[in-house]
Amino acid sequence: AQSVTQLGSHVSVSEGALVLLRCNYSSSVPPYLFWYVQYPNQGLQLLLKYTTGATLVKGINGFEAEFKKSETSFHLTKPSAHMSDAAEYFCAVSHTGGGNKLTFGTGTQLKVEL
């Protein structure tokens, strides 16, 4: 079984400030981890993914995430927030043998203020 916990359903930052969105996972086998972003009334866009190899992964729009097995975490960061980053962010996990099924966290709404 696998699960994802996203701490903080709402996060608010100032423009230019660091963005940190938290994600912890539970998986009995090595996980594949993903971050997706969703803008209002739209589908999900892949930000970045971790499958194997380097634990620090870089994605689009300046986002990056680090896979920390010891902490079972995959937190999403961006050094400097932009107004256009305001959206809903979902962390998701899947694994080999799981039929590529994604299990999503409950999402974090990011608000960026002037």
- For residue 113, the minimal CB distance to another protein (Å) is 20
Residue of the chain from 24, 27, 73, 94 that contacts another protein (CB under 8 A): 94
96-102 long-range contacts, Cβ below 8 Å, gap at least 24? Answer: 96/29, 96/30, 96/32, 97/29, 98/2, 102/34
DSSP SS3 for 108: strand
Nearer to another protein, 13 or 91 (CB): 91
Q: x/- site string to another protein, residues 24 to 43, per CB under 8 A?
A: --------x-x-x----xxx
Structure tokens at 50: 């971790």
105 contacts 94 by C-beta, under 8 angstroms: no
Q: Count of residues binding another protein (CB under 8 A)?
A: 22
Nearer to another protein, 37 or 81 (CB): 37
Nearer to another protein, 55 or 106 (CB): 106
Using CB under 8 A as the binding rule, whether residue 22 contacts another protein is answered as no
- For residue 16, the minimal CB distance to another protein (Å) is 27
Q: Write the DSSP string, 33-88.
A: EEEEEE-TTS-EEEEEEE-SS-SEEE-GGG-EEEEEGGGTEEEEEESS--GGG-EE
For binding to another protein (CB under 8 A), which residues are involved?
Answer: 32, 34, 36, 41-46, 49, 51, 90, 94, 96, 99-102, 104-107
